[in-house]
Structure 1
Amino acid sequence: MRGGSVSEHRLDLPNVDASLFETPDCARLLAPAQRSTHAPRILMLYGSLRERSYSRLLTREAARMLEALGAEVRTFDPAGLPLPDSVPETDPKVQELRSLAQWAEGMVWTSPERHGAMTGIMKAQIDWIPLSMGAVRPTQGKTLAVMEVSGGSQSFNAVNQMRILGRWMRMVTIPNQSSLPKAFLEFDDAGRMKPSSYYDRVVDVMEELVKFTLLTRDASAYLVDRYSERKESAEQLSRRVNQRAI
């Protein structure tokens, strides 16, 4: 089935602008005009500044997996990132984070769970990534994997919160996720993650992230193209044309 305007067909939706209402186009989803050949670009964010940070250790382990899976990986160090709105957005650390967010085609967010929630360090990084930069939404349509580490029993509070944020940032959050309980038991003295079912789950998550990134990155703009935004753009154009005619 090819997509397109349905203005030539009967549309029993009186409140819909038929000229802007489009049926999904399989060709644009599955066979875009040009396929990317570069390695998937993945940005890693973690939510702790401790000297032995288990969220950082887990992030490093996941980065190794991603590189083995063929991805190009960059990790943002949150040390020195100011609190949101405490400095101008021209701050070098803020600009570094925003530049990486634009560069990335997918992200991994890994946070400790503290007081039943993600850490403020994790949230601050997400808050500094704007929903839009000029006409560009730096996260829209990009893939996201979420992971958390806990000091006690297994919990999913932090990953659930990050899923909400991923949706708010208009990201494609993959179904799989990792929650690592008693993280202090899962790493050796060299900071490498020990073999376990938890380790295997992290491999699963990174493999799934790369697959979803390869699947969606060339169609991400089309995936998040919305009727309401096409309508708004049409109305804005109409207003500009009418103003010029006055």
Structure 2
Amino acid sequence: MPEQNPSLDNIENSVFIIPSKADLQSAPSVHKPRILLLYGSLRERSFSRLAIEESARLLDAFGAETRIFNPTGLPQPDSEDESHPKVKELRELMIWSEGQVWCSPERHGAMTGILKSQIDWVPLSVGGVRPTQGKTLAIMQVCGGSQSFNAVNQMRILGRWMRMVTIPNQSSVAKAFLEFEENGRMKPSPYYNRIVDVMEELMKFTLLLRDNKDYLVDRYSERVETAEQVSQRVNQKSL
């Protein structure tokens, strides 16, 4: 017979309470969903920024409160410390947000360093608070040539690493330089319709999940770690 895992008894004896519908909806938020939008280019006519601005207009129309972070002036990771004003601004917005939108140009088959630097400035934990855990995420990319999905595939991995709930839908705009008017507004097209779909889906996921994210991201392994830390502190005090 296979040898019993000695930790299995602890797992079986741990309390797992299946929440009722009333438990999950006991105190629904009444404020507008808070959505942070990031883009990955510093060019004067940045198509990732134009796509983000178009997304913000849609989210505002759907009833969200949106904020767009301007990466201009954000230092490279490790070149400054967390007291830099742009780093503080970014981290505060990360904590403020309930959902996010990331949009990057595809450059050399990948997301840009501008977008990645913004994510790299946000650790998994800031002062005991996980700034991105449990938040919803929508991902988009703009392409200079034919449509591809390299950047969104990378961002999906990043979203998982940051413990975010990345929605299934995504957007990739081919030949983005043809898809925007001179005034920066996006032309009617299937690409535009897809962005509408993505923002609509992000709103739905955010409304469903934001009040229950603490329950959704509660983990057995972290409860064990916390219990061990508490036990160690108690033992130290008793010495």
Using structure 1 for the length normalisation, give the TM-score. Answer: 0.92
2: distance between equivalents of 1:36 and 1:48? 34
CA distance in 1, matches of 2:146, 2:23: 42
Residue pairs, 1:12-31, within 5 angstroms: 14-16=6-8, 17-18=10-11, 21-23=14-16, 25-27=18-20, 31=24
Cα distance in 2 between the residues matched to 1:138 and 1:96: 13
What is the CA distance between 1:30 and its match in structure 2?
A: 6.5
Is residue 209 from structure 1 mapped to residue 202 from structure 2 by the alignment? yes
Alignment partner of 1:181 is 2:168: no
In 1, Cα distance between equivalents of 2:123 and 2:221? 21
1:71: which partner in 2?
Answer: 64
Shift of 1:26: 3.2
Percent identical across equivalent pairs? 67
1:77-156 correspondence to structure 2 within 5 Å: 77-156=70-149
TM-score of the pair, normalised by structure 2: 0.94
The 1:29/1:168 distance shift into structure 2, 3 A limit, reads: farther
Q: CA deviation at 1:33?
A: 2.8
Residue 3 of structure 1 is matched in structure 2 by: none
Measure, in 1, the Cα distance between the counterparts of 2:161 and 2:76. 20
Partner of 1:244: 237
**Residue 51 of structure 2: aligned partner:** 58
Equivalent of residue 198 in structure 1, options 191, 194, 198: 191
Q: Does the CA-based 8 Å contact 1:145-1:173 persist in structure 2?
A: yes
CA apart distance, 1:237: 1.1
2:106 is paired with a residue of what secondary structure?
strand
Alpha-carbon distance change, 78 to 22 in structure 1, aligned in 2, over 3 angstroms: same
Kept in 2: contact 1:20–1:230 (CA 8 A): no
Going from structure 1 to structure 2, the CA distance change for 1:30 and 1:175 (only over 3 Å counts) comes to: farther
Q: How far has the Cα of 1:243 moved from its partner?
A: 1.7
What CA distance in whole angstroms lies between the structure 1 residues aligned with 2:84 and 2:113?
19
Inter-partner Cα distance in structure 1 for 2:98 and 2:153: 22
Residues 114 and 26 of structure 1, relative CA distance in 2, 3 Å threshold: same
The 3 A distance-change label for structure 1 pair 14 and 29 is farther
Map residues 3-18 of structure 1 onto 2, 5 A cutoff: 14-16=6-8, 17-18=10-11
Post-superposition offset of 1:23 = 3.4
Report the counterpart of residue 157 of structure 1 in structure 2: 150
Unaligned runs of 5+ in 2: none
Distance 2:19 2:51 in 1: 38
